[in-house]
Amino acid sequence: MTRLTDLELFVRTADLGSLTAAAKAMDWSPAAASAAVKRLEATWGVAVFVRSTRSLRLSTEGERMLPHVRAALSAMTEAQAVVSKTRSALRGELQLSMPSDLGRNILLPWLETFLQRHPDLSLRLHFSDRTADLMRVPLDMAIRYGTLRGSAQVALPLLLNNPRLLVASPQYIARHGTPATVAELAQHEALSFMVGDEVPKTWRLCVQGQWVDAPVQGRRNANDSEVVSRWAVDGLGLAYRSQIDMAAHIAAGRLVHINPHWQGEPGDLHLVVPGRKQVTAAVRALRDHLVPLLAQLAAGSAQHKR
């Protein structure tokens, strides 16, 4: 396959009348420039230059090839400009994966506002609590909890102060009381969110500066985060969910933050893309749109903690 840089050297040499001058203009060594010409001549099967000890000129075949090579390089430049314009423009389709509860009940209206601001954009949304493999499925980005380790993917922060909270409805607390110690959690109905098919046996909490794995048990477990939230609002037990997911419920009084001095695990929220080249203007615009809205919601939730 012919290298574009070899074609560029061919044109530069023809314009300057000197292979040495063309190599210098492209910051190449004379040996690298000579090798490039040999590759072209081997690929095309003709000599493109006529050389002497004092001069260099295009051969008849080289003169015939030159306008076609110029056109090819011009077409590549135009193609690169189109790609660059596409990357910087807010148009096209974005495929986005997000957790079910967060996506349906918090992000959806904000995404609608984003679309109204950018009429040349369209969204294809995927709601799932499973972690999508951005290298295998046709997704542009995913909203995820936690941090990436040992991955070539890029994580753009959306909300960094987003701990998990222990919550229950006022009705549940009225019937069953509030657990005063971590040990008492085992006596309550735990509404657990399953990662995959595994039901968690403990919830990790920091009590008086010490992290402990509190044993929990319950008859209601789901791999859909929205279902766990509904169970909690319906007064069926305790839930251990991220602050941003519970923010609206806490602000409306549907749920209460139990023992705020018990710190839950961090649940930092990120916008994840497959690589740096996929961080387009549209991706950055979406992140800039969501960050202040998430921060405002989290701040409102913090004011309503019990």
- Spatial distance between the Cα atoms of 42 and 190, rounded to a whole number of angstroms: 73
Domain of residue 22, CATH code: 1.10.10.10
Whether residues 272 and 148 share a domain: the answer is: yes
Beta carbons within 8 Å of 23's beta carbon, 6+ residues apart: 9, 29, 30, 32, 33
Q: Coil, strand, or helix at residue 51?
A: strand
Are 238 and 256 part of one and the same domain? yes
Please tell me the predicted confidence (pLDDT) of residue 195: 79
- Do residues 116 and 65 both lie within one domain? no
CB atoms within 10 A of CB 245: 27
Domain that holds residue 255: 164-264
User: Which spans in the chain are helix H?
Assistant: 4-16, 19-25, 30-44, 60-88, 100-102, 108-117, 170-176, 225-233, 243-251, 281-303
pTM of model > 0.75: no
| Residue range 140-183, pLDDT digits in tens | 888 988 776 656 788 899 998 889 999 999 999 999 999 999 99
Do 203 and 214 meet the contact criterion of CB atoms below 8 Å apart?
A: yes
* Residue closest to 96 by CA, chosen among 157, 138, 155, 147: 138
Residues 257 and 171 in one domain: yes
Final residue belonging to a domain, choices 41, 58, 88 = 88
| Shared-domain flag, residues 171 and 248 | yes
d(CA 61, CA 152): 46
Provide the number of structural domains found in the chain: 3
Taking residue 50's Cβ as centre, other Cβ atoms within 10 Å add up to 12
Q: What is the CA 101 to chain-centroid distance, rounded?
A: 18
173 and 102 share one domain: no
Instruction: Assign residue 296 the CATH number of its domain.
Output: 3.40.190.10
Q: Quick one: tokens of 161?
A: 């102060």
- Same-domain check for residues 152 and 275: yes
Q: So what's the pLDDT on residue 86?
A: 59
In the chain the first and final C-alpha atoms are separated, in Å, by 68
Q: Across the chain, which distance is largest between two alpha carbons, in Å?
A: 100
Residues 125 and 180 reside in one and the same domain: no
Query: What amino acid occupies position 104?
Result: R
Tokens representing 172 are 């549940």
**Are residues 204 and 256 part of one domain?**
yes
Only one residue has tokens 């229950």, namely 168
DSSP conformational letter for 31: H
Q: How many CB atoms lie within 10 A of CB 6?
A: 17
Are residues 77 and 120 located together in one domain of the fold? no
* 120 & 194 share domain: no
Strand pairing report for 141-145 and 210-215: unpaired
The neighbour count for residue 174, using CB atoms within 10 Å, is 10
| Phi/psi of residue 217, nearest 5 degrees | -155, 155
Q: What is the pLDDT along the chain (306 residues), one digit of tens a residue?
A: 678 899 999 999 999 989 999 999 999 999 999 999 999 999 999 999 998 877 889 999 999 999 999 999 888 888 877 766 655 567 888 899 999 899 999 999 999 999 999 988 999 998 988 876 666 667 888 898 877 665 678 889 999 888 999 999 999 999 999 999 999 999 999 999 987 778 899 999 999 889 999 999 999 999 999 999 999 999 999 999 999 999 989 989 999 999 888 989 988 999 998 888 888 888 999 999 999 999 988 887 555 554
User: Do 45 and 74 share a domain, yes or no?
Assistant: yes
Q: What share of the chain is helix, strand, coil (3-state, %, to 5)?
A: 45, 25, 30
Among 63, 88, 113, give the residue marking a domain's end: 88
Which tokens in the block code for residue 218?
């319950």
- Inter-helix orientation angle 108-117/281-303, to 10°: 140
